[in-house]
């Protein structure tokens, strides 16, 4: 299944999802639903975030599970932070998310 798109493929403007459907019973809900901040993540970075949360942010455990050095985890986390629209320098540096 494809990820929800965030931008119009024709003009790059923001999109609003107007319909969702259950894959089991085919019930449909019509309305206006905005994609979440996590829709910005690539599938690889979303998996990384899921692992990070599952391991409660324990980078040492992530290095064990993913079998990569600390610096790789740190760089990947910085990539996720940037992809979500936040600056990686300090907590006060945040880009406009709207």
Low-confidence ranges of the chain (pLDDT < 70): 1-2, 89-98
Structural contact between residues 49 and 83, judged by C-beta atoms closer than 8 angstroms: no
- Percent of the chain that is helix, strand, coil (3-state, to 5): 40, 15, 45
Comparing C-alpha atoms, which of 17, 23, 18, 22 is closest to residue 5? Answer: 17
Within 13 Å and on the Cβ side, how many CA atoms surround 85? 9
> How is residue 68 written in tokens?
């990569």
> What is the pLDDT, as a whole number, of residue 26?
95
- Can you point out the beta strands (E) in the chain? 17-21, 28-33
> What is the pLDDT, as a whole number, of residue 80?
95
Domain edges within the chain: 1-35, 38-83
pTM confidence score: 0.66
Summarised one tens digit per residue, pLDDT across range 60-82 is 999 999 999 999 999 999 999 99
């Amino acid at each position: 299944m494809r990820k929800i798109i965030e931008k119009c493929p024709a003009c790059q403007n923001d999109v609003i999802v107007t319909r969702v459907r259950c894959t089991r019973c085919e019930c449909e809900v019509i309305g206006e639903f905005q994609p979440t901040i996590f829709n910005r993540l690539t599938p690889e970075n979303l998996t990384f975030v899921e692992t990070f949360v599952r391991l409660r942010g324990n980078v040492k455990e992530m290095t064990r599970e993913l079998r990569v050095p600390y610096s790789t985890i740190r760089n990947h986390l910085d990539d996720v932070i940037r992809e979500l629209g936040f600056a990686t320098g300090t907590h006060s540096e945040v880009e406009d998310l709207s």
